[in-house]
């Protein structure tokens, strides 16, 4: 069974104690309930705040100094327009059609929701290229302005919020007859009920995790790049680097699409507001904020800085990809050599051995370290004028530190003394010799 990375996010997990292993039925803690009540209000406001600061306040954090300034900030929250709604629904339907109709390799993956395994048709790589082919054709024929998304960023953001909330309500409604979920109150909306909900054989979580949001992030990035060209007649090196790094990151995700089937999100996280909103709003509209900033604030990078950023991003990518591939191959064939040598194995009672050499012998999540290096390169490309452009790396560090602890607790429960032996053998959580 392949296993690797999710480029999607469970952003809100930073603030949430989801209780026992997230997919299970334990009652949510008080902290979890508090998060479920507050985050669906606070997080959308945070995204608006970040966007307004980076887009229209010179990239500086807006600090309202009076009630009037606060009201004016709130008034700047864009309303969804009918045009943005049409665009969003067209995009959403197009991506859904690609997932439903394009051919793809069929893979059966073991899932807690279905011990016999769930079948997935993996056509993400084809959907990725089909999207770009259609996008390029529409632009080439003059039927679509490449800056359309950049021009409607705010209205699209508001529309995406509404769709994410509506979908979360639909997910609650789907399980209205199931008593075990009704008892969970607001947590049922926030964390969701079902692990792998489907309509027919259309897997909702696989779709939301990757298609509209993740590809949407890249399409937004490219539109912002086109906008910079329209405004300045040139594209800055910083914008080019950020967009190229991020598009490559997502393309790589689709190239290794099968890997998502064994990620925490797909296997253990229920589908509720947290994932829906994260996938449809947080990923496309927060991960593209570097490009939003660079649109009006092109950063001049010296040749040395460009090379440095490319080296940092490449080092991060190689670390991230190598670690994920090593685990993936190990899960498929536990005897396959790691760096030319027999793998160091820790046997577990469940029969699922642990890899304790190669990247997995350096730290218990070297893949997270690689991901963080890439995120750092994206932020550094925005220069040092505005601290807010570093929001992504700060948030992402918190997310992965928290996620590592959640995963550690999960593995300690699943593997018992074998996990303790692994912890002794590999004491570093994420960064070798540091943390």
Task: Please say which residue, 152 or 363, places its beta carbon nearer to ligand NDP.
Answer: 363
In this structure, are residues 183 and 105 in contact, taking their beta carbons and an 8 Å threshold? Answer: no
Task: Please say which residue, 235 or 431, places its beta carbon nearer to ligand NDP.
Answer: 431
CB of 268 to ligand NDP, least distance (A): 8
CB of 71 to ligand NDP, least distance (A): 34
**Pairing mode, strands 345-346 and 202-203:** unpaired
CB of 360 to ligand NDP, least distance (A): 4
CA 195 to chain centre: 18
In this structure, are residues 310 and 378 in contact, taking their beta carbons and an 8 Å threshold? Answer: no
Q: State the Cα–Cα distance between residues 365 and 430, nearest whole angstrom.
A: 5
CA 228 to chain centre: 25
Is residue 256 at the binding interface for ligand NDP, with CB under 6 A as the rule?
Answer: no
Task: Please say which residue, 55 or 407, places its beta carbon nearer to ligand NDP.
Answer: 407
Q: State the Cα–Cα distance between residues 32 and 207, nearest whole angstrom.
A: 26
* Cα-Cα-Cα-Cα dihedral sign, residues 237, 243, 249, 254: negative
Q: From the list 410, 418, 429, 430, which residue makes contact with ligand NDP (rule: CB under 6 A)?
A: 410
Is residue 320 at the binding interface for ligand NDP, with CB under 6 A as the rule?
Answer: yes
For residue 110, the surrounding DSSP H or E stretch is strand 105-111
Q: From the list 2, 6, 47, 430, which residue makes contact with ligand NDP (rule: CB under 6 A)?
A: 6
Is residue 181 at the binding interface for ligand NDP, with CB under 6 A as the rule?
Answer: no
CB of 131 to ligand NDP, least distance (A): 19
Name, in order, each residue with C-beta under 8 angstroms of 325's C-beta and a sequence gap of 6 or more. 4, 256
Chain position whose Cβ is nearest to ligand NDP: 5
Task: Give the per-residue contact string, 386-405, with ligand NDP (x = CB under 6 A; - = no).
Answer: -----------------x--
Q: Segment contacting ligand NDP (CB under 6 A): 42-50, 103-111, 166-174, 409-417?
A: 409-417
Task: Please say which residue, 181 or 253, places its beta carbon nearer to ligand NDP.
Answer: 253
| Long-range contacts of residues 142-147, Cβ cutoff 8 Å, at least 24 apart | 146/222, 146/223, 146/226, 147/223, 147/226, 147/227, 147/230
Is residue 17 at the binding interface for ligand NDP, with CB under 6 A as the rule?
Answer: no
How many residues would you count in the chain? Answer: 435
Is residue 365 at the binding interface for ligand NDP, with CB under 6 A as the rule?
Answer: yes
| Residues at the site binding ligand NDP, with contacts judged by CB under 6 A | 3-7, 9, 263-264, 320, 324, 327, 330, 352, 354-355, 360, 365, 367-368, 371, 403, 407, 410-411, 414, 422
């Amino acid at each position: 069974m392949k296993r690797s990375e999710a480029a999607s996010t469970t952003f809100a997990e930073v603030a949430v104690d989801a209780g026992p292993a997230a997919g299970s039925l334990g009652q949510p803690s008080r902290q979890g309930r508090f998060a479920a009540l507050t985050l669906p209000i606070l997080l959308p406001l945070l995204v608006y705040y970040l966007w307004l600061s980076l887009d229209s306040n010179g990239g500086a954090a807006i600090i309202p100094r009076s009630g009037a300034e606060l009201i004016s900030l709130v008034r700047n929250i864009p309303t969804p327009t009918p045009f943005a709604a049409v665009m969003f629904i067209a995009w959403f339907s197009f991506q859904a059609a690609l997932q439903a109709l394009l051919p793809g390799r069929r893979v059966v993956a073991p899932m807690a929701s279905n011990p016999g395994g769930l079948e997935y048709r993996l056509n993400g790589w084809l959907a990725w290229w089909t999207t770009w082919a259609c996008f390029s054709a529409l632009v080439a024929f003059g039927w679509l302005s490449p800056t359309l998304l950049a021009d409607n960023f705010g209205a699209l953001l508001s529309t995406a919020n509404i769709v994410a909330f509506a979908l979360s309500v639909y997910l609650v409604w789907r399980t209205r007859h199931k008593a075990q979920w009704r008892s969970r109150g607001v947590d049922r909306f926030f964390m969701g009920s079902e692990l792998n909900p489907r309509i027919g054989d259309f897997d909702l979580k696989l779709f939301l995790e990757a298609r509209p949001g993740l590809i949407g992030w890249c399409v937004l990035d490219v539109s912002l790049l086109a906008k910079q060209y329209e405004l300045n007649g040139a594209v800055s090196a910083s914008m080019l680097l950020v967009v190229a790094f991020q598009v490559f990151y997502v393309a790589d995700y689709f190239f290794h699409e099968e890997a998502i089937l064994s990620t925490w999100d797909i296997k253990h996280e229920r589908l509720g507001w947290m994932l829906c909103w994260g996938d449809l709003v947080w990923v496309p509209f927060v991960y593209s904020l570097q490009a939003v900033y660079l649109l009006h604030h092109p950063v001049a990078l010296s040749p040395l800085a460009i090379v440095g950023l490319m080296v940092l991003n490449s080092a991060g990518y190689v670390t991230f990809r190598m670690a994920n591939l090593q685990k993936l191959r190990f899960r498929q064939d536990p005897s396959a050599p790691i760096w030319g040598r027999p793998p160091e194995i820790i046997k577990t009672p469940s029969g699922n051995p642990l890899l304790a050499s190669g990247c997995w012998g350096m730290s218990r999540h070297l893949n997270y370290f690689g991901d963080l290096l890439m995120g750092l390169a994206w932020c550094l490309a925005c220069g040092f004028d505005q601290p807010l452009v570093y929001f992504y790396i700060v948030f992402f560090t918190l997310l992965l530190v928290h996620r590592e602890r959640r995963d550690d607790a999960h593995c300690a429960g699943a593997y018992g003394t074998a996990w303790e032996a692994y912890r002794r053998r590999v004491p570093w959580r994420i960064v070798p010799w540091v943390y």
